[in-house]
Amino acid sequence: MSSPTPDHIRIFVAGFVNQRLKERARDPINNLPDDYDLLLSGSLDSLTFVEMLTALGEHFDWEVNFEDLDPEKFTVIGPLCAFVSEQLRERLALTK
């Protein structure tokens, strides 16, 4: 089994964000560039952001360690997807 790539993560995040935007009757976003900031763009607020991470954790069976979370980086799509993907890959390597 191979671990999810950053693009897998991105697709999931985009789905989550668009669902939230739809609930607030706002237009969906078609693509999420690497430098897209989920929080500062107003797509998510701090609570829905945490919710998104929890959902991400549940979906990919990833144990989110919020304590190490650097808010400055974590809300930007590129670093977020890379980080999550990297963590999942490491864990898969360990369990092998």
Does the footprint of another protein cover residue 39 (CB under 8 A)?
Answer: yes
**In angstroms, what CA-CA distances link 12 with 2, 44, 83?**
17, 14, 14
Least distance (Å) between residue 51 CB and another protein: 5
Q: Under a CB-based contact definition with an 8 Å cutoff, are residues 57 and 64 in contact?
A: yes
Q: Exactly one of 18, 21, 29, 51 binds another protein (CB under 8 A); which one?
A: 51
Cα(16)–Cα(29) distance, rounded to whole angstroms?
11
Q: Under a CB-based contact definition with an 8 Å cutoff, are residues 30 and 7 in contact?
A: no
Bridge partners of residue 76, in order along the sequence: 37
Does the footprint of another protein cover residue 41 (CB under 8 A)?
Answer: no
Residues 53-82 that bind another protein (CB under 8 A): 54-55, 58, 64-67, 69-72, 74-75
Nearest residue (CB) to another protein, 1 versus 25: 25
Does the footprint of another protein cover residue 33 (CB under 8 A)?
Answer: no
Strand locations in the chain (E): none
Binding residues for another protein, per CB under 8 A? 39-40, 46-47, 49-51, 54-55, 58, 64-67, 69-72, 74-75
